Amino acid sequence: MKIVVGGQVDKKEIESLIKEIDSSITTMIKSDLEAAMAVKTGQADYYVGACHTGGGGALAMAIALLGKPNCETVSMPGKKPVEEKIVTAVNEGKKAFGFTADHKDAAVPMIIKALKNRS
C-alpha cells in the first residue's frame, strides 16, 4: 500500500504515525497538488492530509483533482473522527482523507486500520 501525505500541517508527524502503525506501508510527503496527482495517476493508493479545518487545506486539491465523491473529511474542529464513518468511506472506495491536525493521533490509526481491513 502506498500512501501520500499532503495537507497543510504536520506532514512529517503524520508520516511517522503511519510508519509506527505499519512499517510496510510506503509513504511519500508531497505538496497538495503533487499528492493528489500521485493518487490520480496511480503512483499512490491513498491520500491523507491535515489542516486546521479538516477539509480546506487538507483536501482542497484532492477534491479538485479526484472529485468530491473520492474524498472524505474525517474530522473538523469540535467534531472528532468516528471509526464507523471512516470504515464506511473506505468501503465506498474513497481515496483521500482529511482531518484536523489536533485529531491526527486518533484519525490516522482509524484510517490505516480501515484501509487494511477494507471489504
What CATH number corresponds to the domain at position 60? 3.40.1400.10
Say yes or no to pLDDT of 28 above 80.
yes
Chain centroid to Cα 47, Å, comes to: 5
pLDDT at 55: 81
C-alpha cell at 1: 500500500
**In this structure, what C-alpha cell is assigned to residue 118?**
477494507
pLDDT of residue 105: 97
> How many structural domains are present in the chain?
1
Q: State how far Cα 3 lies from the chain centre.
A: 8
pLDDT at residue 37 above 90?
yes
**pTM of this prediction?**
0.96
The CA distance from 102 to 106, in Å, is 9
Q: Which domain holds residue 81?
A: 2-117
Element (H, E) at 71: strand 71-73
Q: What is the pLDDT of residues 55-108, one digit of tens each?
A: 888 999 999 999 999 999 999 999 999 999 999 999 999 999 999 999 999 999
pLDDT given for residue 57 in this prediction:
87
Phi-psi region of 6 (alpha: psi -120 to 50; beta: other; left: phi over 0): beta
